[in-house]
């Protein structure tokens, strides 16, 4: 039997303080989110031979789940320590690297990319007891070719990109573009890109059964003369399909566990796989370019980042992010070696820095203008500290 390999990717993100706020104002919604996260490792218990899930967890989410005061507050709802421990099970779960505060990376200053990524690596290495994360999940799948050198410098081997933006450099057919990893090159560096199937990912969000999925995958890959890799990516904690507490009405009970049972019985050509294992076995083929863009949201295609830049208030806030970033890096340079040996200066710079980075979270721009004031509040605090350093 020919195999069609399937890489399942789920993104989990909560902005700083959001779960705490929901517990106070919309307790059931907070519980649904926590249950949805806790359900992931539980749904894979007993499927260690066939279950394969990639997870991206933002730094702010990891920070919340690992804080003792939050763990104590939600004890009796979810045991966060147990959840984090179970996510270390590399037999069924692989954690993807990402950016700590979940920014749309092409929309923030490149000078801040490395800090966003390194801050995530710091908490993830501590919580998951590993030093290396081969794959990278760009928040909101926001990608541009200029990111390649930063990703390679931090040790990432592959990055996930949306099928909407992949243009072949090497001659290849439609199914090759979508169902085979490729190499993208920029500025003398190269990285493997793994292509998300947008339409199948939309179905993953909306709800599907395994029979439909297996037939659809078969039809899409039937002319492949190579081992196809079908990659589906979506949020894993948003929407009723993932939050439904009933096994008969959720992604896990309706789709994924029945799929794994079918795989186990050998009744399907679909084979769940970790991306790094596929790359070890089959490699990457051909060169592509990836246009700048994000994944599709409920309102927009992701092209042009309209979801995050559609209004004057959103654009102005992003402009102020860039101005604050320039001011911070200038202050850091001005401090120089003398500042590096001054604990007070270093503390103030650190305080200004994390506020700048937090202001860049995608959520501050995703909800139209509703959360834009949160961006300005952090930038105000960052500027206050920078101005104190000048005084």
Cα dihedral 50, 53, 54, 59 in deg (nearest 10): -140
Largest CA distance in the chain: 72
* Three-state helix/strand/coil letters over the chain: CCCEEEEEEEEECCCCCHHHHHHHHCHHHHHHHHHHHHHHHHHHCCCCCCCCEEEEECHHHHHHHHCHHHHHHCCCCCCHHHHHHHCCCCCCEEEEECCCCCECHHHCCHHHHHHHHHHHHHHHHHHHCCCCCCEECCHHHCECHHHHHHHHHCCCCEEEEEHHHEEECCCCCHHHHHHCCEEEEECCEEEEEEEECHHHHHHHHHCCCHHHHHHHHHHHHCCCCCCCEEEEEEECCCCHHHHCCCHHHCHHHHHHHHHHHHHHCCCCCEEECCHHHHHHHHCCCCEEEECCECCCCCCCCCHHHHHHHCCHHHHHHHHHHHHHHHHHHHHHHHHHHHHHCCHHHHHHHHHHHHHHHHHCECHHHHCCCCCHHHHHHHHHHHHHHHHHHHC
Same domain, 15 and 36: yes
For residue 246, the model assigns a pLDDT of: 84
Instruction: For tokens 């309102």, name the residue.
Output: 299
- CATH number of the structural domain spanning residue 84: 3.20.110.20
Whether residue 139 contacts residue 58, with contact meaning beta carbons closer than 8 Å, is answered with yes
Whether residue 175 contacts residue 224, with contact meaning beta carbons closer than 8 Å, is answered with yes
Using the 3D structure, point to which of 283, 304, 325 is the last residue of a domain: 304
Instruction: For tokens 């490395």, name the residue.
Output: 114
**pLDDT at position 9 over 90:** yes
List beta partners, residue 55: 10, 95
Band of the pLDDT at 381, cuts 50, 70, 90?
very high
Same domain, 137 and 276: yes
Whether residue 23 contacts residue 67, with contact meaning beta carbons closer than 8 Å, is answered with no
Mean pLDDT of the chain: 95
Report residue 103 as tokens: 């920014």
Whether residue 134 contacts residue 158, with contact meaning beta carbons closer than 8 Å, is answered with yes
Residues 6+ apart with CB under 8 A from 23: 30, 73, 74
Same domain, 269 and 127: yes
Cα dihedral 334, 336, 342, 347 in deg (nearest 10): 60
Residue 179 CA to chain centroid, in angstroms?
Answer: 20
Same domain, 12 and 58: yes
Report residue 190 as tokens: 């190269």
Using the 3D structure, point to which of 304, 323, 342 is the last residue of a domain: 304
Same domain, 51 and 162: yes
**pLDDT at position 341 over 90:** no
Using the 3D structure, point to which of 269, 304, 339 is the last residue of a domain: 304
Q: Is 187 left (phi over 0), alpha (psi -120 to 50) or beta?
A: left
Same domain, 104 and 206: yes
**pLDDT at position 235 over 90:** yes
Instruction: For tokens 């992931």, name the residue.
Output: 40
pLDDT: which is higher, 258 or 131: 258
d(CA 18, CA 367): 14
Same domain, 172 and 84: yes
Average pLDDT over residues 114-135: 96
Same domain, 270 and 321: no
Same domain, 317 and 294: no
pLDDT-wise least confident of 103-112, 208-217, 337-346, 373-382: 337-346
Q: Quick one: what percent of the chain has pLDDT higher than 90? A: 90
d(CA 328, CA 309): 23
How far separated are the first and last CA of the chain, in Å rounded? 72
pLDDT-wise least confident of 236-240, 269-273, 306-310: 236-240
Same domain, 209 and 269: yes
Band of the pLDDT at 338, cuts 50, 70, 90?
low
Domain range spanning residue 340?
310-390
The count of domains in the chain is 2
Kindly report, residue by residue over 289-301, the tens digit of the pLDDT: 999 999 998 779 9
Main-chain phi, psi angles of 367, to 5 degrees = -90, 50
d(CA 26, CA 213): 34
For residue 387, the model assigns a pLDDT of: 94
Q: Quick one: what percent of the chain has pLDDT higher than 70? A: 99
Kindly report, residue by residue over 57-113, the tens digit of the pLDDT: 999 999 999 999 999 999 999 999 999 999 998 899 999 999 999 999 999 999 999
Same domain, 199 and 220: yes
**pLDDT at position 234 over 90:** yes
Same domain, 118 and 39: yes
């Amino acid at each position: 039997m020919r195999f069609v390999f399937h890489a399942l990717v789920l993104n989990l993100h909560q902005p700083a303080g959001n779960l705490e706020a929901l517990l106070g104002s919309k307790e059931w919604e907070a519980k649904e989110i926590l249950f949805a996260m806790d359900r992931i490792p539980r749904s894979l218990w007993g499927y260690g031979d066939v279950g394969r899930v990639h997870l991206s967890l933002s730094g702010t989410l990891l920070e919340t789940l690992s804080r003792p005061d939050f763990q104590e507050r939600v004890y009796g709802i979810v045991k966060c320590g147990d959840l984090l421990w179970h996510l270390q099970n590399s037999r069924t779960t692989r954690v993807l690297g990402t950016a700590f505060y979940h920014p749309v990376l092409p929309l923030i200053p490149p000078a801040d990319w490395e800090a966003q990524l390194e801050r995530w690596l710091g908490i993830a290495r501590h919580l998951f007891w590993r030093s290396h994360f081969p794959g990278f999940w760009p928040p909101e799948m926001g990608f541009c070719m200029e990111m390649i050198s930063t990703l390679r410098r931090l040790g990432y081997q592959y990055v996930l990109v949306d099928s909407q933006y992949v243009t072949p450099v090497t001659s290849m057919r439609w199914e090759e573009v979508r169902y085979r990893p490729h190499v993208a090159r920029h500025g003398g560096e190269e990285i493997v890109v793994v292509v998300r199937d947008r339409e199948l990912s939309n179905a993953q969000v909306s709800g599907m059964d395994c029979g439909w999925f297996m037939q659809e995958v078969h039809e899409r890959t039937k002319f492949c003369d190579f081992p196809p890799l079908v990659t589906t990516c979506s949020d894993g904690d948003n929407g009723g399909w993932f939050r439904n507490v009933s096994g008969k009405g959720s992604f896990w009970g309706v789709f994924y566990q029945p799929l794994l049972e079918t795989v186990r019985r050998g009744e399907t050509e679909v084979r769940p796989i970790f991306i790094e294992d596929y790359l070890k076995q089959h490699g990457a083929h051909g060169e592509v370019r990836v246009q700048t863009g994000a994944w599709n949201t409920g309102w927009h295609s992701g092209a042009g980042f309209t979801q995050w830049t559609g209004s004057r208030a959103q654009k102005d806030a992003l402009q102020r992010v860039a101005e604050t970033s320039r001011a911070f890096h200038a202050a850091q340079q001005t401090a120089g070696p003398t500042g590096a040996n001054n604990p007070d200066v270093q503390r103030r710079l650190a305080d200004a820095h994390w506020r700048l980075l937090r202001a860049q979270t995608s959520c501050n721009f995703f909800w139209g203008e509703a959360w834009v004031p949160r961006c300005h509040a952090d930038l105000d605090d960052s500027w206050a500290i920078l101005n104190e350093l000048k005084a």
